[in-house]
Amino acid sequence: MLFSDRITHVQDLTDNEQRIAKYIENNLTAVSTMSIQTLASKTYTSHSAIVRFAQKLDYSGFRAMRQDITKDVQQNITKLNAVDANFPFSSENTAVEIAKNISDLTINAVKRALAQLTEKELTAAATKIMNSNRLVLFAIGDTQIRARGFQSKLVKINKFAIIAEEYSDESWTSVNLNENDLAIFLSYTGNSSNYLKLIKFLHQQKVPTLLITGNPDSQMIQYASQTISIVQNEYNIFKVSTFASQITFEYLLDTLFAIVYAKSYKKNLIKLQSNYEKLTSNDILDNISDDKKRS
């Protein structure tokens, strides 16, 4: 979670802590290189008050908080064009204005996602995907569309994934998984009671799981083998559509596919060329294209 998200959602601040929060928000760049003594002086508080404030934001202390502030500044998070992720357009907007807003929203969502990712978690997730015998994707609604895109890409590198809910067989699919497989749960809210039961069961069975969510407080996290949490400024229900969350899922799944592909880049290119030659030499590729045109 970005510092800017933490400070927006923190509650029950004292008067001193509210003054610290306001000063940091208004002077983010300066605070990124500021000592704790200077910040205490600027906010008319104390060293211990700054530490308590940092801990209220779930940081171990001031240094950890300042590292995240620096990351926000370096990623230019505060300079992103202001677009409401929940209502990115209104009835007064022209067609071109709406197009620009959706463009800005897309760029904002990707930049916010990138700022929250780490080398360690991306590498770990990609390794889990590569090492799994079977790969099962748990996703419903709009998110399942992103999962299907990921599924389609994986086929190109001889990795076959299953959509767990495709035939409402998620329970039977789960019970047949083992420690050599990987279950990926895609849930922005992370509040599905059914997913909670399933991931808890898989945890008990020692089946590796990867949870991708926008909710850092999801109960599912405690049972997942690994969690990638990316927070966007998107409400759970009150919104026009799931713009930011779906952009995030697609971006992250595309990134994981690219990392997996790059791990065996030369091998995958050779396989691609070989498969293409097989398809074209047997007229299979042409026939598939013709059938699609007729349909």
- Do 111 and 240 fall into the same domain? no
- Do 110 and 179 fall into the same domain? no
What CATH number has the domain bearing residue 22?
A: 1.10.10.10
- Do 61 and 126 fall into the same domain? no
Kindly indicate the confidence band of residue 294, based on its pLDDT and cuts at 50, 70 and 90.
low
What CATH number has the domain bearing residue 128?
A: 3.40.50.10490
In degrees rounded to 5, what are phi and psi of residue 182?
-140, 130
292 occurs within a structural domain: no
Q: Using CA atoms, how far apart are residues 25 and 148, in angstroms rounded to an integer? A: 40
128 occurs within a structural domain: yes
Kindly indicate the confidence band of residue 241, based on its pLDDT and cuts at 50, 70 and 90.
confident
**What is the percentage of the chain residues whose pLDDT exceeds 90?**
67
What pLDDT does 288 receive?
52
Cβ of 228: how many Cβ atoms within 10 Å? 21
**Which residues share a beta bridge with 44?**
none
CB 154, CB 135: distance < 8 Å: yes
Residue 289 confidence (pLDDT) above 80 = no
- Do 32 and 111 fall into the same domain? no
- Do 252 and 176 fall into the same domain? yes
Between 241 and 128, whose confidence is greater? 128
- Do 40 and 111 fall into the same domain? no
Q: Residue 192 gets which letter from DSSP?
A: -
- Do 123 and 180 fall into the same domain? yes
Q: 181-208, pLDDT tens digit by residue?
A: 999 999 999 999 999 999 999 999 999 9
What pLDDT does 237 receive?
74
The pLDDT of 78-92, averaged and rounded, is: 79
Q: Whats the size of the chain, residue-wise?
A: 295
Contacts of 210 (CB under 8 A, 6+ apart): 125, 128, 129, 182, 183, 184, 185, 224, 225, 226, 227, 228
User: What is the count of structural domains for the chain?
Assistant: 3
Q: What angle do CA 217, 221, 224 make, to 5 degrees?
A: 170
- Do 214 and 91 fall into the same domain? no
Domain membership of residue 104 as a residue range: 80-115
- Do 94 and 185 fall into the same domain? no
Average pLDDT, the chain: 90
**pTM of the shown model:** 0.77
Q: Using CA atoms, how far apart are residues 294 and 238, in angstroms rounded to an integer? A: 41
**Which residues share a beta bridge with 182?**
135
